[in-house]
Amino acid sequence: MFGIIPFKFRFRGKVRRILDIYFCFLEAGNVALHPTQIARRTGMGFAEVARRLDATPELFVKLPRRDGITRYRITSTASTRTPEETEALLKKYAQRESWLLYAFSTMVLIMLLIVVLTIAPSM
């Protein structure tokens, strides 16, 4: 069912992983990190780290280099927030996505109910 939804959830169910990446950047200081470095420090897979970094431009910015190695850094707005504010922001984004899922599911159920109520009297 979730394959037919025309949008992707970037935060719902992924807040902990994003926060792990965020804290990895905070521990490293003001340096740009490659996804493999983040994957080693957080214990997540490289592909998952790369997906989270690309999917959350609100927190992470891509820094292309001339040597072909792409590194990431925390955005300037995210670096001015405290970790508690960032965690609250991510939870708010995840809650919005949950409400969107609930609204979409309710619409589908109501449409099915209307179809059933339309067909039922003719039986």
Selection from 57, 42, 76 nearest residue 11 by Cα: 57
Residues 6+ apart with CB under 8 A from 26: 74, 83
Residue 17 belongs to some domain of the structure? yes
Q: Whole domain around residue 82: which residue ranges? A: 2-96
Say which residue the tokens 């792409």 belong to.
70
Q: Is residue 114 part of a domain?
A: no
What is residue 22's three-state secondary structure?
Answer: helix
Domain-embedded: residue 122: no
pLDDT, tens digit, 9 for 90 and up, residues 3-15: 565 678 889 999 9
Judge whether 105 lies within some domain.
Answer: no
Domains held by the chain: number: 1
pLDDT digits (tens, 9 = 90+) for 53-110: 999 999 999 998 778 888 999 999 999 999 999 999 999 999 999 999 899 899 999 9
109 belongs to a structural domain: no
Please work out, in degrees rounded to the nearest 5, the angle formed at the alpha carbon of residue 118 by the alpha carbons of 112 and 121: 130
Do the domain assignments include residue 120?
Answer: no
